[in-house]
Amino acid sequence: MVANLQEKIDRAGGALPMLRNSEAGLYVFPVQSEFTNWRIEQHAWREGVALMDQSFHMVDLYVKGPDVFRFISQFAVNSFEKFGEGKAKQFIACAESGYLIGDMVIFGLADNTVNLVGKPSVANWIEYQVSRTDMDVWCERDERTVNNAKPRKNFRFEIQGPKAWKLLEKLNGSAVDVPRFFQMGTINVSGRTYQSLRHGMGGAPGLEFWGDFDHYDEVKAAILEAGVEFDLKQVGARAYSSAAADSGWMACPLPAFYSGDDCRAFREWLPANSFDGVVGLGGSFVSDRIEDYYFTPWDLDYGRLIRFDHDFVGRDALAKMEKETHRKKVSLVFNRDDLATLYRSQLTPGQNGKAMELPLAHYAAYPYDTVLDKQGNQVGVSTYTAFLAPDGAMVSIASVDEAFAAEGTELTIAWGEKDSRRPNVEPHVPFELRAQVSGWPFSEKARESYRSGR
């Protein structure tokens, strides 16, 4: 029996064969697929008000102890100098190589407690670091619902859209302080006070708040009742999964711990059946080096957040990379005529391209498609692709060479998996789809207000 990730990699003949041959599909959002229609639900966070239930699909890792802030700062590229109770920020972790492991949101809940919230990879990395440190810290893990038969510790709701503040004021019973982007506050619901975070998954105004899961039904009922006046729409799994593409967030870059001697002890610690041991890698980009699938912080626009004011894992490598040329994160908007040709091909068996599902058009936890210039040279990778109904546009989050990152640049995306043997990929012929570089978040209105206090 394979016990840990390293053994599983060895048995598969390498990390890439393991990931490429995985039968796992998309990351699971264990909420109702649609409450109305996913198109209506997308329109709600852009034009009205939407409720996103975040209570079930993310890991909550609580790190506690007298040394918690000193401990946690060792694994983040961004500064923790002013971080503490009542503060929140993006937590960005790298391997010693300087390549990204991923990001989570970190909340300062008390003088000796932080909560990391997000997908499992970074939580796994930090839990491992806790297991081997001499500092006075310990952790408690509240696993996402798909891997956890127990009730969650907390509910987590997000209300967002142009009408969000009016609804929040009605719930609160008075005006709500509007904190700056990614700042914490409080809100009152049904006579109880809950902590909140100024956030916006789809690039729209919003507030996320959380509390004891025993209050889940009561709080949700209060939100739905108050929301009738504002035509509140609940967001199901189909629409929610497209929000990252709308907001310009690359939700799950392949973590840079599948290779390298510096990460070997972690791979030997992590169970083979963990999230990182079962996920799949898909798409048209194929390399025999797993390092070609890794990103630097600059590739995803995190370079601006790096602070060399503290010691952290990856610091030396990042200091050397700082002056190098990096790729840039962009939105890619697919050409409508090429999309029409792709969809029309589904009507001709044997000539069909890889089916492009709506609204989410990827079919692996890590989708990597090759981006080409006009001469056919690879100049980047396209990742999370989604159809945004308010714009009538198919959009992906991509990282491309700086010379091709200007808005309006015409590029091509190689679509499909040539000679794929994965059982969840149907027989198809490869397609090349034209795409144009755009900014992120994709919505121009969201770009203007995403990080403001409005």
Domains delineated in the chain? 38-56+152-247 (3.30.1360.120), 328-449 (2.40.30.110)
**DSSP per residue, 383-400:** EEEEEETTTTEEEEEEEE
The residue type of 226 is: A
pLDDT tens track of the chain, all 454 residues? 889 999 999 999 999 999 999 887 677 778 899 999 999 999 999 999 999 999 988 899 999 999 999 999 999 999 988 898 889 999 999 999 999 999 999 999 988 999 999 999 999 999 999 999 999 999 999 988 877 778 899 999 999 999 999 999 999 999 887 777 778 999 999 999 999 998 766 556 789 999 999 999 999 999 999 999 999 999 999 999 999 888 888 988 999 999 999 999 999 999 999 999 999 999 999 999 999 999 999 999 999 999 999 999 999 999 999 989 999 999 999 999 999 999 999 999 999 999 999 999 988 999 999 999 999 999 999 999 999 999 999 999 999 999 999 999 999 999 999 888 788 899 999 999 999 999 887 776 555 544 443 3
CA distances for 42 relative to 157, 189, 218, 247, angstroms: 17, 25, 25, 12
DSSP letter (8 states) at residue 83: -
Q: How far from chain centre, in Å, is Cα 411?
A: 24
Partners of 380 in beta bridges: 371, 400
Count of helices and strands (H, E) across the chain: 14, 19
Instruction: Specify the pLDDT at position 418.
Output: 86
Q: Kindly report the backbone phi and psi dihedral angles of residue 189, in degrees, each rounded to the nearest multiple of 5, phi listed first.
A: -140, 125
Q: 164-172 and 216-227 helices cross at what angle (nearest 10)?
A: 120
DSSP letter (8 states) at residue 27: P
Q: What is the dihedral of CA 293, 294, 299, 302, to 10 degrees?
A: 150
Please state, in angstroms and rounded to a whole number, the distance separating the CA atoms of residues 9 and 18. 6
Please state, in angstroms and rounded to a whole number, the distance separating the CA atoms of residues 73 and 312. 7
Instruction: Specify the pLDDT at position 123.
Output: 97
Instruction: Specify the pLDDT at position 446.
Output: 56
Q: Degrees (nearest 5) of the Cα angle 305, 311, 315?
A: 60
- The answer to whether the Cα torsion of 168, 169, 171, 172 is positive or negative is positive
Check: CB of residue 185 under 8 Å from CB of residue 92: no
Please state, in angstroms and rounded to a whole number, the distance separating the CA atoms of residues 313 and 327. 22
Please state, in angstroms and rounded to a whole number, the distance separating the CA atoms of residues 13 and 348. 37
Instruction: Specify the pLDDT at position 110.
Output: 83
Three-state SS for 431-444 is EEEEEEEECCCCCH
Check: CB of residue 380 under 8 Å from CB of residue 398: yes
